[in-house]
Amino acid sequence: MSHDQASCLELLARGAAVEAYDRPVLLARASGADAETLAGLEQAKQLALRVRAELEGRRRREAELSALFETAHDLSGLRDLDAVLRAIVQRARSLLGTEVAYLSRGGTP
């Protein structure tokens, strides 16, 4: 593994933005790297980006499961239907990052 390819792993390890993964390829191209080196860097970049996407997906699912567990825990202690509905709306606002949310209770009480 070349130093330039290792830089893709370093970017991955520190959670760099997607745009940063182009830098090693651009620097190698600017320094006149041969086609084989550029192809290796491009492959390393693509693999690193796939791993990054997978890690982001796992983090998101972990956060969603954690929120679901917390919500279930919070709701398990509530007995009043209105309090349960308020808690659901509050949690939805928090998860969605919105200022306003509402839940309509239809049917007969």
Q: What's the domain count of the chain?
A: 1
pLDDT tens series, the chain, 109 aa: 666 668 888 998 999 999 999 999 999 999 999 999 999 999 999 999 999 999 999 998 998 888 888 888 888 887 888 888 888 888 888 888 888 877 776 665 5
* Residue 45 located in a structural domain: yes
For residues 33 and 24, the answer to whether their CB atoms sit within 8 Å is no
* Residue 109 located in a structural domain: no
CA–CA separation, 80 and 56 (whole Å): 37
Does the reported pTM lie above 0.85? no
If you ran DSSP here, which 8-state letter would residue 43 be given? H
- Cα angle value 81/85/87 (rounded, 5°): 115
Q: Residue 92's domain spans which residues?
A: 3-104
Q: Which two tokens stand for residue 74?
A: 């919070």
* Positions of E strands within the chain: none
